């Protein structure tokens, strides 16, 4: 898979945006575990049209001016992971869901732990809003960007 990338500054740290010919494939965190996602950054291309569009939409999101992203996405994962990641896209801005609610939404109510694992491997953080998934007890749980970044994103969306 050929990929291109660019970097952008954000309130949650410098993000690496990665695209394929088919769409945005990853948003990687400053200290992301290289084994967390299958997609690797590839070649630097700061002028790539999709990466420029993604960076612009993320900038609008962080400024409180965008609630919905309009980007072609290219998820690379198992069928189950892709099912979970598509379910993330249905969580409205400013709302949260539990892992159990996501499991139920995809028709696999007993797969709560597997949903958690898939959520943790979501390659397109923020756009596919894994930060909106919380524990059944309402507490913030693991997040690739760190719990402080998750809290920042949720606070931004609650404003």
Q: Please say whether the beta carbons of 48 and 39 come within 8 A.
A: no
Q: Is 98 left (phi over 0), alpha (psi -120 to 50) or beta?
A: beta
Q: Is 130 an annotated catalytic residue?
A: yes
One of 39, 130, 144, 149 is an active-site residue; which one? Answer: 130
Helix, strand and coil in the chain, % to nearest 5: 35, 15, 50
154 in Cβ contact with 96 (< 8 Å): yes
H or E segment and range at residue 126: none
Region label for 157, one of left (φ > 0), alpha (ψ between -120 and 50) or beta (otherwise): alpha
Which token pair is 119? Answer: 């959520």
Q: Are 116 and 77 in contact (CB under 8 A)?
A: no
Q: What are the catalytic residues?
A: 130
């Amino acid at each position: 898979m050929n990929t291109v990338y660019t970097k952008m500054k954000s309130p949650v740290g410098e993000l690496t945006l990665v695209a394929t010919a088919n769409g945005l494939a990853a948003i990687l965190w400053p200290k992301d575990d290289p084994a967390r996602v299958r997609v690797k950054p590839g070649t630097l291309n700061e002028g790539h049209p999709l990466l420029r569009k993604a960076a612009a939409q993320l900038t609008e999101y962080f400024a409180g001016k965008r609630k919905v992203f309009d980007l072609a996405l290219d998820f690379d994962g198992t069928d189950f992971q892709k099912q979970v990641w598509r379910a993330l896209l249905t969580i409205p801005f400013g709302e949260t869901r539990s892992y159990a609610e996501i499991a139920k939404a995809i028709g696999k109510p007993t797969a709560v732990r597997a949903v958690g694992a898939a959520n943790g491997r979501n390659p397109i953080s923020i756009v596919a809003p894994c930060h909106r998934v919380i524990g059944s007890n309402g507490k913030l749980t693991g997040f690739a960007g760190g719990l402080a970044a998750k809290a920042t994103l949720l606070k931004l969306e609650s404003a």
